[in-house]
A and B are shown apart, each in its own frame.
Chain A
């Protein structure tokens, strides 16, 4: 009886939770509707008519393609750097005990715990002091800095689940450290790294605050969007780009979820 009563949720709670979720999703759904509107000059609702012509218009825009290519390149390299550095850091923190371990976690989290504008302006003034000109690589440097934490968090959680006895068993059977890494550790942390990498890619692909400070004259896709937001010039193209950005960021997030959801079944877990 009792558990029956407890398992039924109060109506008020149900409504509040549903309203909250609707608040989170309806604005994103509107983006999809606006990508097909025939209205060019305003944000009129309801749309006077629907059309697919803007998809073709956006497809033939070289500036959109240039921004998209730059974003993908930056995100790929920043993700690679973050994967290496984040995994090294996670391995050190979870496999060994040393003085100042807590400080390392704080250091890794700092670039996203502090407001982005601080990271951005700090890097910008450091570049100008060191007389480094803005380039593709200054964007990558900024992005990799805050992407490390995503990889680190995923990897540390997985490292904690790998049983120490598995590694000892591998060593006892004659494998050296590299073989143990290759055949025992890597297969176990692989999906966590892939998930972390995907999230890092999504984070970098979408970043605008730090990028405005480290990009100079180049424009990544978010910077292109930001310019359109401040001074709307081609609303229909912006609508289509917004929809594509939503779709492109959804894929890595869904992928990351499916890769980490079976995290409880890692070999040696629960021992």
Chain B
């Protein structure tokens, strides 16, 4: 009797695969190790290892005479990093990243709000694809498109001419700091392209945050006499803020490290990414390049910590 029951309880042994499967079932930790080992080896060893190797280099220095790396622990490279020219570069990049982030939030919010509250059915799909396609389309092609647009003989000048507003464009270009010879070699041009390329990353997180705002909260606000502006200021905006912060992680971080956009469209004044590229390439000063990369890492670390405290990660 017990033998029959046992036979019913325990299925036939099913070959090596079955035995292996049983072994994993009995030892879940082994299964976990088998699952995690390859990705952890790749990311933990190859990627994190490279990052640490890079950070380590920032504590070496370069010999001014021979141009060779001096493998002794020193803070000299960091002192070099804090020189006036380099601080200028850092300040310029951070203020650009901040301006780009604010502008992106301003443009992204209406799109996200419309998609979250009013778009339905077919329109919702169109909105989603309308955001996803530019977001995923080629980075270089997007920059190239703006090279076409901002060129002196390009569509923007043509448009200003047709509207008889060329004087306005010229007046803007003659301004200090934001101006320049033409839009494609000015900060204004760099700014527009940065906003264009990174703004789409802002829309989906804001939309996700707004979709979680219950409609009756907004109704309650207007029932209690709140004007649309007050409702926005006291109800909608605070609830959307984690989404905005989540989106700003992308716009801020991506602007901080970019070296291609300011190289192609912009003035000759450097951004952090260009400084890193120049130091590791033509200058051959790997320690200083490494020290430069620490700046965005530290800034992003602080930013992520702040974002986490504001609950932005739930909105991702």
Contact = CB atoms under 8 A, between A and B. Distances in A.
B153 A117 contact: no
Contacts of B199: 24
A114 B296 contact: yes
What size tier do the contact residues of chain A reach?
35 or more
Contact of B219 (A2, A30, A43, A116): A2
Interface stretch (A57-65, A186-194, A238-246): A238-246
B43 A45 contact: no
Contacts of A55: none
A6 B219 contact: yes
B46 A141 contact: yes
Binding site secondary structure of chain B: helix
Contact of B128 (A42, A174, A208, A257): A257
Contact of A113 (B47, B153, B249): B249
A250 B297 CA distance: 32
B249 to A, nearest CB: 7
Interface in A1-46: 2, 6-7, 9-10, 13-14, 16-17, 20-21, 23-25, 27-28, 30-31, 34, 42-46
Contacts of A113: 249, 253, 300, 304
Interface in A177-223: 177-179, 199, 202, 206, 208-209, 222
A124 interface: yes
B141 A225 contact: yes
Given A30-B148, A115-B254, A107 B44 contact: yes
Contacts of A17: 110-111, 113-115
Interface string A234-258: 0000100010011001100110010
Contacts of A96: 28, 31-32
A87 to B, nearest CB: 9
B263 interface: yes
A266 interface: no
Contacts of B67: none
Interface stretch (B73-81, B170-178, B237-245, B286-294): B286-294
Contacts of B149: 27, 30
B181 interface: no
Contact of B137 (A16, A111, A125, A250): A250
Contacts of A118: 51, 54, 257, 293, 296-297
B38 A114 contact: no
A208 B153 contact: no
Contact of B138 (A6, A44, A178, A245): A245
Contact of B144 (A117, A225, A249): A225
Contact of A125 (B43, B148, B196, B286): B286
Interface in B35-65: 35-36, 38-40, 42-44, 46-51, 53-54, 57
22 contacts: A27-B142, A27-B145, A27-B148, A43-B153, A45-B155, A46-B155, A98-B32, A110-B48, A111-B47, A114-B297, A118-B54, A121-B280, A141-B46, A209-B259, A222-B140, A229-B140, A230-B263, A242-B140, A246-B137, A250-B133, A257-B129, A261-B125
Interface of A: 2, 6-7, 9-10, 13-14, 16-17, 20-21, 23-25, 27-28, 30-31, 34, 42-46, 84-86, 88-89, 91-92, 96, 98, 104, 107-108, 110-111, 113-119, 121-126, 129, 141, 144-145, 148, 174, 176-179, 199, 202, 206, 208-209, 222, 225-226, 229-230, 238, 242, 245-246, 249-250, 253-254, 257, 261
Question: Which 5 interchain pairs have the tightest Cβ spacing?
Answer: A115-B257, A16-B110, A176-B21, A126-B50, A177-B21
Given A126-B54, A209-B257, A257-B128, 17 more contacts: A6-B215, A6-B218, A23-B107, A108-B39, A110-B43, A113-B249, A113-B304, A121-B290, A121-B293, A126-B49, A148-B39, A177-B31, A206-B139, A225-B140, A229-B264, A242-B141, A253-B136
